Amino acid sequence: MKIYIVRHGETALNAKHVMQGRLDEPLNKNGRDLAVLTGQAIKGMRFDHCISSPLNRAMETAQIILRESGNDIPIITDERLLEMNFGDLEGKLISEMGEEADRFHMDPFHFKGFPNGENIYDVCERTQAFLKELIAKDDGKTYLLSTHGCAMRGMVNFLFEDSSDYWRGRVPYNCSFTIIDAENGEARLCDVDKVYYDPELIVDHFKK
């Protein structure tokens, strides 16, 4: 069983360094272009199933990658793949968070969470419940999951040797993959933050 987890392509709010969360922003041109390049680079790779966050940017990323890679399969949505709920801070610039932004990115497990939103433990609980349920199916199929940066890190956190290091040094790049092999109910990470497009095109919006 193989599981490819992709973070959606870039949006205008990503480029502006806005806390996006559950805001249903579409991909911008760069986001669509990266998804096209990604799909073309993996042309011939066969996916049996695709499951996506219901948000526009994740759905569109999955649609483009499937089309360009030659996979004509339906996309199922699951709300457990939604991005973290940033509550009252959704739509705010990251710079407006001040010290809270530093705590969220440097030590998220001790970050209290967002007013009227989620904390990291909430994200881990719902995303890992999804992934563990999928791994337990052990059906030998290949899955494409389309989700979001914080949700992706939370989903696979339990598979890292050091689970206290949530971000692994960065928010996952747009259209980057975390890849998992699973067999007999056991899973292992094969790759993290893998891009199939030219690395020169990577934009790290959260680099200090």
Q: Is residue 132's pLDDT more than 70? A: yes
- How far apart CA 71 and CA 165 sit, in angstroms, is 35
Total-model pTM: 0.96
Buried b (16+ CB within 10 A) or exposed e, 1-40: bbbbbbbbbbbebbeeebbbbbbebbbbebbbbbbbbbbb
Answer for the pair 195, 202: CB distance below 8 angstroms, yes or no.
Answer: yes
80/178 Cα distance (integer angstroms)? 17
If you average pLDDT over every residue of the chain, what do you get? 95
pLDDT tens column, 94-121: 888 777 778 888 899 999 888 999 999 9
- Given a cut of 50, whether residue 208 has pLDDT beyond it is no
Positive or negative, the CA dihedral 125, 12, 169, 104 is: negative
**φ/ψ (deg, to 5) at 190:** -100, -35
Q: What is the predicted pLDDT for the residue at 206? A: 66
pLDDT above 80: residue 47: yes
CA quadruple 42, 168, 3, 18: dihedral positive or negative?
Answer: negative
Using CA atoms, how far apart are residues 79 and 53, in angstroms rounded to an integer? Answer: 6
CB atoms within 10 A of CB 107: 13
The Cα 121–Cα 108 span in angstroms is: 9
Q: What are phi and psi of 6, to 5 degrees?
A: -115, 140
- Give the whole-angstrom CA distance, residue 33 versus residue 160: 31
Assess whether pLDDT exceeds 50 at residue 182: yes
Per-residue pLDDT tens over the stretch 55-98: 999 999 999 999 999 999 999 999 999 999 999 999 999 888 77
The length of the chain is: 208
In order of 59, 167, 192, the CA distances from 187 in angstroms are 25, 20, 14
Q: pLDDT tens-digit profile of 149-178?
A: 999 999 999 999 999 999 999 999 999 999
How far, in Å, CA of 54 to CA of 61, rounded? Answer: 11
Architecture of domain 2-201 in CATH?
3-Layer(aba) Sandwich (3.40)
- Please compute the mean of the pLDDT values over residues 40-50 and round it to a whole number: 97
Residue 207 confidence (pLDDT): 55
